[in-house]
Structure 1
């Protein structure tokens, strides 16, 4: 795992790239790679790469990047891991390529030289790749299929700038931090910024499964090389429950096995839930030494403390177990570091315990960890999936009524539905009546109708952006048009494309890399994703049981009490994290903002109602609070976050 950055100067400019700017970009992301650093300048000095290395495979200097082909034509900087690189290496060696290292970086370099752009379809792994062709005078960027590794870019003043993190781009003198108001509008709904937007004006994020091609004449083209499938892949009979479970288990074993490729110590973040426990169980079968496991809990939050479950799994599989109990009173002290490493606000308080358990792993010399992200999204593991599916089934008849009747009914109900706080049931019924989508996300802050109140009489209210509902619909409609998948499949598609890729995986990447450790995600092997998208909804939600097919596939490997236990979530929730001290801090900032994006009367009323009634407005408050912190840190330059 590493950090990459670079600049391409277009031919319309006579400037050359100063080395000190490349060094500055690398320094901004030094936490991603504390083991080595390097820069590269093309022959004409109009293309520059900067690199920071976290050594995982081939710890020698032979793995140094930027790496160049022997003929000097192609140069690469690469962040990630290619799990099938040995298989590809054998093919390339048979074709005559001679290796100088044991790295997967060199395999990518030769794969591009041998197969051209189509090489990307042969890679199995997580990656953000930048390749420069001296002969073509073309820069190419690639992001992995699922979006596990990020890559950001900006086109500004006759140059193209990119980096693993936005802070690398901001380290140049070419970009000044400003708020992208369209991104802010959608952040308020989704609690993160959906790709390709970012909250920094002029900075974009490459979408999962996409590549960019940038020429020195300034032309930029983008194409999709992989999309989330909407139909079954392979030859497994999806109506044969036992066959589906058997194949799923074999895919998971294969995925975990290949993700154990490492020349440094590795372990697992363990909660004692089904996903992390499956990681431990399968790794224990494949290893000849104890698995290193790590758990975190928050002091005083006994209802979310999962130590008993984690210890049970640790004893069962004889792991070398580590625990840390953190005090939420230290949250405010950690705020500047969290805001710095996130780049953009991720209105998810899990970043706090995740930071501590990542540091615990690093302090115990573990450099690579397996995590459980992606399982709930693919196999309908959240309660909201079940609730929404049941609600949609119960109210589906409404959408089949004549449109004129639905519109009349909607008009009659509008006066009764004008509440400022909208829950998912109200949103489903309302949208079934007026023809809107019934599902937006598993985690939301403000629905579009709530934003009308939040943004009333502000400059943002006068902007004519597509609603967040329309933003979501444009993506899901393209997916639905392929094979008209069922309702649950559309929900899962949107969660994989949006919330998983741009919230959960960015949370994992930014916070683990803040502690210089690499997180691998076995449930998000693209073969598992392709297979899971073809599994019918009746095997994901069955008789009220979420993740039914996954649970059945793991019986016999894990005890039933682990498989069937109540889902808690990673080290608590936002509701628990909004302690009196943190709420007081949030209130002091939100009532005295240094900007005019929100209607202050509405914000004040929201805070007062929360204090008075204790209605769960935590998602809304946490979303506004995180934006305020981000704005003060990145836009105003208050890096100490002083009140």
Structure 2
């Protein structure tokens, strides 16, 4: 796991600035504290930088950027290739000789030499990388299938720059720092900006399962190289018993693959099904496991500690367990650094406990941790998903679309309930759209129009959430997608997971130099899960029915059968008093400069918002102040 950076001067006559490239690289020393490298092509038009977090093959021979034997092909790579041992054996049979004993970076490089960019289809892992092929003058940027690893890029002044983090790109003063005002509404809708956009105008991010190719003439082509629905079609139909066994074996395999490395590996343990099963399977494979949990100094009205369940899971599997209890002061003291490490606003307060549990693991000698993201999306684990399915079926049963739904929506609006989710759902039904627009929906369209300044948006219109996801629905249908639940899973695999949940994990764990691995998002496990019939997934109306049966006996029944509780923090209790005042002041400062909010926004409007909406707006303003104004975020 590392931080990568680079520039390609597409225009002839520009040379790489080695000093600038080094500064860009070293903004990410937290991602790679174990070493650093730089490479510049002979013609001075291409430069790569690398910060190293040593995990597989700790030798100097595995350092990056890495050149092929001819010195013409260069790679800078962030991630892990879990099947590198098998691929190395296959490549050796084809005549490839390796200088390292077991570097997955070198395997990736030789795989490209053998199969070209199509080699990415062979990789089982998480990765973001760039390759410069001096033989053909081809330049590639690649992001892994699930989007576990981020990769940002920008095209300006005749060059292309890329990096694992936006702050590295901002070291180049030729790249303007400017708010992408047209995308603020999408941020309020989805809590993070879906690829390819960011809230920096001119800076983009690769979408999950996407690569960019720049040919010798400078033409840029972007390609979606993997889609979970297409992959799921290779699995045949099966009965319920076979599914349970296959799920059990596939997740066991995914956990075992993610135990590889030459450094200690641990588990984030919340006390829920996903992390507990993850820890139990890891303990079975490795014999010993360290687990890490975050709780709070007391139980609050807005969040109850899960530490007791985490301890029970740890005791059950015989783990070496560590925990930390956070206080309100921990939230406030971390805010300035939080928005710096986020790079772009990620309006999920779970960033706070994620940072502290990552630091807890690092402080106890662990360099890699496995996390449980993805299981809820694959196996229908969210209560709000269940409600969305029921509401969609109800509307379908009564043929509640077109004029009927529109009339009901109008009635709700007239009654002062136009800001509710029910209103949004009826409006979607009236247009023939699916009512589920993402598991991270925050501000309703009415709430956005109540506070945003329409004059700041293109065509003076505030975009709806549908405008942000319509292209995904078109792709879902084109790739054979059918059913309400499959759509919900597909949408969140493409948006909420890569750009919110996985982004928060990457940014907060890498802030302390910790690698996070995601067994439930092994692409083969995802493809298999998507092939399961919806009726089996929701059998008996139970959330996560299939996964619960698959892990029964592996972890305590008490954990399997407990009520669903998401990993979180007591936001409503903590976002009061001084913190609320400072958030409002920073939002006002942000708006005085940007005019993104309209004249109706005042202290009364802010005070009456839900805590989550206050946090979302506050996160945006804090980010703007630190990353666009380059000033201190909060007063001491």
Task: State the distance in 2 between where 1:169 and 1:181 align.
Answer: 20
Residue 526 of structure 1, aligned match among 503, 523, 528: 523
Counterpart in 2 of 1:354?
Answer: 354
Secondary structure at the counterpart of residue 566 of structure 1 = coil
Aligned mates of 2:230, 2:577 — CA distance in 1:
46
State the distance in 2 between where 1:432 and 1:37 align.
54
Measure, in 1, the Cα distance between the counterparts of 2:606 and 2:550: 46
- Residue 451 of structure 1 and its aligned partner are, at CA, apart by 1.6
- The match for 1:476 is 473
8 Å contact 1:296–1:356 — kept in the other structure? yes
Asked if structure 2 preserves the Cα contact closer than 8 Å seen for 1:298 and 1:353, the reply is no
2:83 aligns with 84
- Residue in 2 aligned with 1:27? 26
Alignment equivalent of 1:588, drawn from 585, 592, 600: 585
Q: In 2, distance between residues paired with 1:354 and 1:143?
A: 23
Q: How is 1:49-88 mapped onto 2 (pairs within 5 angstroms)?
A: 49-88=48-87
Alignment partner of 1:460 is 2:453: no
Give the Cα–Cα distance (whole angstroms) in 2 for the partners of residues 88 and 324 of structure 1.
Answer: 40
1:24: Cα distance to partner? Answer: 0.4
Q: Does 1:201 align with 2:191?
A: no
How much does 1:609 deviate? Answer: 2.4
Paired residue for 1:211? 211
Alignment of structure 1 residues 320-359 onto 2, 5 Å: 320-359=320-359
1:378 is matched with 378
Partners of 1:196 and 1:571 in 2: CA distance: 28
Using the TM superposition, give the Cα deviation of residue 4 of structure 1 relative to its aligned residue in structure 2, in angstroms: 0.3
CA distance 1:115–1:265, shift in 2 (3 Å) = same
Q: Which secondary structure state, in structure 2, belongs to the residue aligned with residue 569 of structure 1?
A: coil
Provide the rounded CA distance (Å) in 2 between the counterparts of 1:251 and 1:41. Answer: 42
The equivalent residue for 1:264 is 263
Structure 1 stretch displaced more, 346-355 or 392-401: 392-401
Shift of residue 600 of structure 1?
4.2
Identify if the C-alpha distance between structure 1 residues 262 and 411 changes in structure 2 by more than 3 Å, giving closer, same or farther.
Answer: closer
The answer to whether the Cα contact below 8 Å between 1:458 and 1:598 also exists between their aligned partners in 2 is no
Quote the Cα distance in structure 2 between the aligned partners of 1:568 and 1:577: 19
Aligned to 1:298: 296
**Aligned-partner Cα distance in 2 for 1:215–1:606:** 52
Question: 8 Å contact 1:632–1:641 — kept in the other structure?
Answer: no
The question of whether the paired residues in 2 share the 8 Å contact of 1:147 and 1:505 is answered with: yes
2:442 alignment partner in structure 1: 445
Match of 1:578 among 572, 575, 578: 575
Name the CA shift for 1:152/1:440 in 2 (closer, same or farther; >3 Å).
same
Q: Deviations over 1:17-48 (max 9, x none)?
A: 11101100111111110001000001101000
Q: Counterpart in 1 of 2:624?
A: 631
Residue 32 of structure 1 aligns to a residue whose secondary structure is coil
1:52 Cα deviation from its structure 2 partner:
0.2
The answer to whether the Cα contact below 8 Å between 2:232 and 2:530 also exists between their aligned partners in 1 is yes
* Matched pairs, number: 631
- Which whole-Å CA distance do the structure 2 matches of 1:46 and 1:4 have between them? 17
Assess if the C-alpha contact under 8 Å between 1:294 and 1:321 holds in 2: yes
C-alpha displacement at 1:491, in angstroms? 1.0
1:247 aligns with 2:240: no
Residues 562-600 of structure 1: per-residue CA shift (max 9 Å, x gap):
111122222425434424332222223234434210024
For the residues of structure 2 that align with 1:332 and 1:235, how far apart are their CA atoms?
49
Which residue is 2:123 aligned to?
A: 123
Aligned to 2:365: 365
Deviation sequence 1:448-491 (CA, Å, 0-9, x none)? 23222112454237545753212212212220233241011101
| 1:417-566 pair list within 5 angstroms | 419=417, 421-422=419-420, 424-456=421-453, 458-460=455-457, 462-464=459-461, 466-566=463-563
**Corresponding residue for residue 39 of structure 2:** 40
1: CA distance, partners of 2:215 / 2:415? 52
Instruction: Give the deviation of 1:285 after TM superposition.
Output: 0.8
Q: Report the 3-state secondary structure (helix = DSSP H, G, I; strand = E; otherwise coil) of the residue aligned with 1:140.
A: strand
CA distance, structure 2, for counterparts of residue 211 and residue 354 of structure 1: 29
1:614 maps to what in 2?
none
TM-score, structure 1 length as denominator?
0.94
Write the mapping of 1:169-184 to structure 2, written as runs, cut at 5 A.
169-184=169-184
Which deviates the most, 570-579 or 296-305? 570-579
Query: 1: distance between equivalents of 2:103 and 2:231?
Result: 35
Q: Give SS of 1:483's match.
A: coil
Partner of 2:615: 622
Change (3 A) 1:458 1:190: same
Conservation of the 8 A alpha-carbon contact between 1:304 and 1:569? no
Structure 1 residues 393 and 279: CA distance shift in structure 2, 3 A: same
Q: Greater CA deviation, 531-540 or 112-121?
A: 531-540
Long gaps (5+) in structure 1: 611-616
Separation in structure 2 between the aligned mates of residue 480 and residue 398 of structure 1, nearest angstrom: 24
Structure 2: distance between partners of 1:639 and 1:205? 26
d(CA) in 1 for partners of 2:244 and 2:125?
24
Equivalent in 564, 568, 588 of residue 567 of structure 1 = 564
Contact 1:35–1:54 (8 Å) recurs in 2: yes
Q: Counterpart in 1 of 2:281?
A: 282
TM-score calculated relative to the size of structure 2:
0.95
Does the 8 A contact of 2:400 with 2:429 survive in 1? no
Cα distance change of structure 1 residues 415 and 552 upon mapping to structure 2, 3 Å threshold: closer
CA distance in 2 between counterparts of 1:214 and 1:603 reads: 48
CA RMSD for the aligned pairs? Answer: 1.9
Query: Is the 1:342–1:507 contact (alpha carbons within 8 Å) kept by the matching residues of 2?
Result: yes
- Report the more deviating stretch, 224-233 or 631-640: 224-233
Contact (CA 8 Å) 1:8, 1:216: kept in 2 or not? Answer: no
Q: Is 1:312 equivalent to 2:312 in the alignment?
A: yes
Distance, in Å, in 2 between the alignment partners of 1:383 and 1:457 is: 34
CA distance in 1, matches of 2:85, 2:325: 40
Question: Is 322-331 or 300-309 further displaced after alignment?
Answer: 300-309
Residue equivalent to 1:602: 601
> 1:183 touches 1:194 (CA, 8 Å); kept in 2?
no
In structure 2, distance between residues paired with 1:227 and 1:5: 26
1:189 aligns with 2:182: no
Q: Partner of 1:29: helix, strand, or coil?
A: coil
Flag the 1:426–1:45 CA change in 2: closer, same or farther, 3 A.
same
SS at match of 1:25: helix
Structure 2 unaligned regions, length at least 5: none
Tell me, yes or no, if the aligned pair for 2:183 and 2:193 is still in contact at 8 Å: yes
* C-alpha separation in 2, matches of 1:410 and 1:545: 31
CA distance in 2 between counterparts of 1:549 and 1:625 reads 39
